[in-house]
Amino acid sequence: MSQDVPAQTPETLFTGSSQMHALVRAHDWASSPVGPLASWPTSLKVLVKTLLGSRYPMILTWGPELTQFYNDAYSLVIGDKHPAALGTDIRGTLAEAWDSLAPLVLEAMTTGVASWVPALRLLLNRSGYREESYFDVSHAPAYDDTGAIGGMLAVCAEVTPRVLSERRTRLLRDLSAQASDTRSVAKTCGDLAKALEAHPLDVPCALLYLRADDGRSLTLCGAVGIGQGGPLSPERVLLDPGSRMAAPYLRALEGERVLRDGLEALLSLQGGPFGDAVGTLLFQPLAGTGAAAPLGVLVTALSPNRAFDEGHASFSELLSAQVSASLRNARAYEEERQRAEALAALDRAKTAFFHNISHEFRTPLTLMLGPLEDVLAQVPVTEGARKDLELVHRNAGRLLRLVNTLLEFSRLEAGRIDSSFEPTGLAAFTQELTGHFRSAIERTGLTFSVECDGPPEPVWVDRQMWEKVVFNLLSNALKFTFQGGIRVRQEVRGNDVLLRVFDTGTGIPEAELPHLFERFHRVRNARSRTHEGTGIGLALVSELVALHGGDVSVESEEGRGSTFTVRIPRGSSHLPADRIQAARQQESTAVGARPFLQEAERWSDVEPAPPAEVPSSPPAEAPRGDLPRARVLVADDNADMREYVERVLSPSFDVTLAADGQAALEAARANPPDLVLTDVMMPRLGGFGLLRGLRELPSTRAVPVVMLSARAGEEAAVEGLEAGADDYLVKPFSARELVARVRSMLELSRMRRDSLRQELLAMSLRESVQARDDFLAVASHELKTPLAAFRLHLERLERSLGEDALGRAKSPLESAGRQVQRLHALMETLLDVSQLTTGRLALELNDVDLTAVVATSVARLREEVARMGVTVTLDAGLPLVGRFDKLRIGQVVTHLLANAAKYGQGRPIAVRVAAEDGTARLTVRDEGIGISEEDRARIFERFERAVPGRNYGGLGLGLWIARQVVEAHGGRITVDSKPGLGSTFVVELPIEGLKAA
């Protein structure tokens, strides 16, 4: 007996809850090529059910019509073609990509062989445009119930983001490789264009614009995929804000990313993998260094087959950043190269200058030294004149040595040194050269030993050069050695001759050793016998030894001394053949030992002993008015300069000498001078250090300091004056100028002292005035107490008297009351003065009717002025309400009325209150004696009266107090007056939100 199998329906077969399950269940399969579900072979049902349950993108085509089934994951692949694609021919759905897919689909269906293609590029129209996309795909045959191939089952995964990322990364890497080599900006632009040209899928075309130096235009420096000079690729873009073409460039230079669309007709360009028209340009800034302006603008065309999504935007930003970095590196390289070329040109010019100026100096120096030597040898002169002539001769010789050193160095720099190497008994020659220094070294108290051994054969040296090497090394050793001694040792070691100069001097800091033989290098703050020098002696030694095929080195330890070692090879094979015993073509720069020794002997001079202290006040036995001479402290490390300054100043001043800044500071502490004259550069403590030390001490803080320096120019003078010096004198200077500067500084110092005394006196006076004001305040308070008691007693007396007695005493009592009131007003005035002068006046501001305050004050004073025969009229309109101190405004009215009555000659007084242009105006006019023009400027000052020299009574404080009160309210008080025609006082007070009711 058979059992019926229930018929399958879409609802019972495809029971999943996904969107595609629902669509498959609802689809009208009967009208499709595969027919109703009941006619489907079991294999198809199983395949469809399996496909729908998978979360991996899968598509199944069935039958010769290639009817397609797919799942939810695959629906994302075909984009907006879903869900219409379900149950239709795949050739219609993927028509644009069928040329790529057809071979794979047909191969699977005809041969039964599955395929696997990674990163297959497909053209898809799934998002409204022809999109470049990439998929990893596998096509396999699908079998029916009979085992025949009934369709094709494909599994795919979109890898478009990965492919684009890898491709764009390669582009950025290629651009970075172009930036790794240093090159010019122009070459870098060309290399960047080549790198971009190799990636047309991501950058169909590009334009590289750089900003001109003036910032007013952009210049096209590179183009890819588009010809230069076209409508969208001009060679030059003027950055005119009113130009439509310049607008996107200007926006990009301001840091904005600008897109321009709809340009197909203008571009006529094709891009992307399918040759579609390019329609969008992207303008991006090329960032400069730090906060500097952008270097230019990068214009790139966007691929027509990729949307400008977040990933595309990020890639474009990285692209412009990489181009910017390459250009910045190139620009930095160019600037560095230009600086190097400028420095090289400057160095050549400097060398030429040294060479020329050295020659120019030698002629006048020769004409100075020759006649000086003749005069010293043949002409009898006084001892003083001889010292002056020897000073000139000694320093002219020193100058000649410096000039010859510069000339020698300039020849070395230019490669034009005139050398002649001769076979020399080097041991004897070195012994002879060092012997010149023995007396100068031993004179300082140092020991000096020489040990010279040489090879049996002569050594090939340039005798003039070797002389300079030995003299410079010995001079340098003596300069920095104060205790112990100097030792010279020459020995043979293998194929070399070594000359060593040992000293027990101050030593050299380790950080300075690598720079010791550099030109113009000097060890800062090193203790030495003098700070004079050019810093080229050791550099010259190094160069001269190098010409012998040798080298020079140094070993040193601070506080322990230094050892200089010169090494030169034996023989002559290492020397230029044309310079062996060559005839000299140039004039010699050798000066012998004499200039070195003259300078060294001045170092070894005994330090000047300070003279006996000069008393700061006249000696007791000195006649009246015989004041001591001013004392000048001179600090300079050059013995000749010290002696010269002393000879110039000693006729007028008492001079104390110091060899360095430390000695000068100690002398100033022991006995403060009237003026300090100091050199800037000295051993132990320089001029600026001495200046700081003097300013730190109370006893020397006010001592004027004049600085001497060889550094000319405004900057050097400003540096000295800003450091606190009182004057700055540049060497060379004349004797008259030096004396004049010292005299003027001493006079200025005296004037400063007088000014300080005047200032102290003024301060004392101000303190006295303050004490007076404080006394007035206290006295006024103290006087008000008995005055109040006196007034109370008068009132009690009036009440206690009978009518008869009161009638007889009324007039005296009223007179006494008026005097009490007058005295009370006087006390109040003194209190006001105290408050105003000490800045303690405080206003109590409230909403006050100004009209009412003036009316009350006029009414209170009307009776008093009536006794003087004066009438007062008041013209007051509507109430004026503002923020005022009622008592203080009443005080102003009282002072003005009292002033008008006093000087009004008994004539009427007119008072008016009104509002004009938001300002309250109080006017008090009298017809009295008036005020002259010269007096109007002072009547508002303390203790001033309108008519000087005439006694009208009062303290002269009323108008001053009135002005202080008015100005405290933010107002002003003025007067208009003419003699004999009366006066008009006007008070203007600001009223915010003036209310006139």
Structure token pair of residue 844: 């109590």
Query: Would you say 655 and 612 are in contact if contact means Cβ atoms under 8 Å apart?
Result: no
Coil vs helix vs strand at 223 = strand
Query: Would you say 297 and 217 are in contact if contact means Cβ atoms under 8 Å apart?
Result: no
Provide the sign of the torsion angle of the four alpha carbons 197, 200, 203, 206, taken in this order: positive
CATH number at 825 reads 1.10.287
Q: Is residue 623 part of a domain?
A: no
Residue reference for tokens 């790139």: 300
CA-based max dimension of the chain: 165
Rounded to the nearest 10 degrees, how much is the dihedral formed by the CA atoms of 518, 523, 527, 533? Answer: 50
Burial of 730 (0-12, 13-18, 19+ CB in 10 A): middle
Strands 206-211 and 258-260: unpaired
Distance between CA 725 and CA 279 in Å, rounded?
A: 73
CATH number at 496 reads 3.30.565.10
Residue reference for tokens 């170092």: 603
H/E stretch holding 441 reads helix 438-443
The answer to whether residues 882 and 956 belong to one domain is yes
Low-confidence ranges of the chain (pLDDT < 50): 1-3, 5, 265, 589-591, 605-625, 712-713, 949, 993-997
Q: What is the 3-state secondary structure (H, E, C) of 312-334?
A: HHHHHHHHHHHHHHHHHHHHHHH
The answer to whether residues 23 and 153 belong to one domain is yes
Strands (E) in 467-578, as ranges, are 485-493, 496-503, 551-557, 561-569
Cα separations in angstroms, 656 against 193, 659, 665, 678, 975: 77, 10, 12, 12, 67
Distance between CA 879 and CA 849 in Å, rounded?
A: 6
Q: Is residue 56 part of a domain?
A: yes
The answer to whether residues 719 and 748 belong to one domain is no
Query: Would you say 295 and 331 are in contact if contact means Cβ atoms under 8 Å apart?
Result: yes
Q: How many CB atoms lie within 10 A of CB 309?
A: 10
- Sorted by sequence, the CB contacts under 8 Å of residue 363 that are 6+ apart come out as none
Strands (E) in 617-682, as ranges, are 631-635, 654-658, 675-679
pLDDT score of 966: 85
The answer for 653, left when phi > 0, alpha when psi is -120 to 50, beta otherwise, is beta
DSSP lists the bridge partners of residue 211 as: 218
Q: Is residue 78 part of a domain?
A: yes
Torsion angles phi and psi, residue 460, rounded to 5: -85, 110
The sheet carrying 149-158 orders its strands as 67-70, 58-62, 149-158, 131-143, 115-124
Burial of 839 (0-12, 13-18, 19+ CB in 10 A): exposed
The answer to whether residues 140 and 49 belong to one domain is yes
Query: Would you say 820 and 790 are in contact if contact means Cβ atoms under 8 Å apart?
Result: yes
pLDDT score of 94: 93
Nearest 5°: the CA angle 776, 779, 783 is: 135
Q: What is the pLDDT of residues 961-970, one digit of tens each?
A: 888 888 888 8
Last-in-domain residue among 802, 821, 840: 840
Angle at which helix 735-800 crosses helix 639-649, to 10 degrees, equals 60
Q: Is residue 210 part of a domain?
A: yes
Structure token pair of residue 590: 């050798």
Q: How many domains does the chain have?
A: 6
Q: How much is the pTM?
A: 0.45
The answer to whether residues 924 and 970 belong to one domain is yes
pLDDT score of 904: 78
Residue 432: give the domain boundaries.
Answer: 417-581
The answer to whether residues 637 and 750 belong to one domain is no
Distance between CA 746 and CA 744 in Å, rounded?
A: 5
Last-in-domain residue among 804, 825, 840: 840
Q: Is residue 369 part of a domain?
A: no
Q: What is the pLDDT of residues 873-883, one digit of tens each?
A: 888 878 888 88
DSSP letter string over 729-788? EESS--HHHHHHHHHHHHHHHHHHHHHHHHHHHHHHHHHHHHHHHHHHHHHHHHHHHHHH
The answer to whether residues 54 and 186 belong to one domain is no
Query: Would you say 995 and 881 are in contact if contact means Cβ atoms under 8 Å apart?
Result: yes
The answer to whether residues 233 and 316 belong to one domain is yes
Q: Give pairs for 513-516: CB < 8 Å, separation 24+.
A: 513/554, 513/556, 516/554
Strands 281-286 and 258-260: antiparallel
H/E stretch holding 823 reads helix 803-837
Structure token pair of residue 433: 């050269």
- Sorted by sequence, the CB contacts under 8 Å of residue 837 that are 6+ apart come out as 769, 773
Q: Is residue 644 part of a domain?
A: yes
Print burial letters for 964-991: b (CB count within 10 Å at least 16), e (below 16): bbbeebebebebebeeeebbbbbbbbeb
The answer to whether residues 785 and 814 belong to one domain is yes
Coil vs helix vs strand at 684 = coil
Query: DSSP code of 480?
Result: T
Distance between CA 507 and CA 560 in Å, rounded?
A: 6
Which of 141, 136, 90 minimizes the C-alpha distance to 114? 141
pLDDT score of 2: 43
The answer to whether residues 120 and 206 belong to one domain is no
Strands 909-916 and 872-876: parallel
Rounded to the nearest 10 degrees, how much is the dihedral formed by the CA atoms of 682, 683, 687, 691? Answer: -160
Q: What is the 3-state secondary structure (H, E, C) of 136-188?
A: EEEEEEEECCCCCEEEEEEEEEECHHHHHHHHHHHHHHHHHHHHHCCCCHHHH
- Sorted by sequence, the CB contacts under 8 Å of residue 308 that are 6+ apart come out as 259, 280, 282, 302
Cα separations in angstroms, 745 against 117, 598, 633: 98, 35, 13
Structure token pair of residue 48: 């469809």
Q: Is residue 357 part of a domain?
A: no
The answer to whether residues 242 and 181 belong to one domain is yes
CATH number at 35 reads 3.30.450.20
Q: Is residue 393 part of a domain?
A: no
Distance between CA 733 and CA 707 in Å, rounded?
A: 12
The answer to whether residues 324 and 436 belong to one domain is no
Last-in-domain residue among 840, 860, 886: 840
The sheet carrying 909-916 orders its strands as 872-876, 909-916, 919-926, 983-990, 972-977
**CA atoms within 13 Å, Cβ hemisphere of 851:** 15
pLDDT score of 871: 86
Which of 872, 891, 863, 631 minimizes the C-alpha distance to 745? 631
Burial of 403 (0-12, 13-18, 19+ CB in 10 A): buried
Cα separations in angstroms, 381 against 146, 225, 373, 614: 142, 93, 13, 34
